[in-house]
Amino acid sequence: MTTTWRILLVSLVCSCGTSALPAGAVCDATSDCDDGLTCLEFAQITGTSCMVVGKQCSTTCIDDTSCAPLGANFRCFATCTADKMCGELASP
């Protein structure tokens, strides 16, 4: 298990109820997420292998600074597609 995968897994939270989900929350569809967020797939990348392991409310990004609007703990991670997505780092 890569460090990136562990960081994303630890940072995911399950929110239950009817309110829209914040950045970093587990989702099933974009309609689950707060305005401006999309339900994106996140991946576990090992060498040349990539496996989708879940979905979370987030935005696409180019680099870490692209994730700043989501909060100080968000960084830009590779996915199994050409797009990258913002993922929240676990608190120390």
Q: Express each pLDDT in 61-84 by its tens digit.
A: 999 999 999 999 999 999 999 899
Looking at residue 92, its pLDDT comes to: 65
Q: Is the per-residue pLDDT at 59 higher than 70?
A: yes
Q: Is the per-residue pLDDT at 88 higher than 60?
A: yes
Highest mean pLDDT among 7-11, 40-44, 55-59: 55-59
Residues β-bridged to residue 39: 57
Confidence of residue 49 (pLDDT cuts 50, 70, 90): very high
Looking at residue 17, its pLDDT comes to: 54
Q: Contact, 84 vs 62, CB < 8 A?
A: yes
Q: Classify the phi-psi angles of 60: left when phi > 0, otherwise alpha if psi is within -120 to 50, otherwise beta.
A: beta
Query: Cα Rg for the chain, rounded, in angstroms?
Result: 12
Domain containing 36 equals: 3-88
In the chain, the amino acid numbered 49 is: S
Question: How many domains does the chain contain in total?
Answer: 1
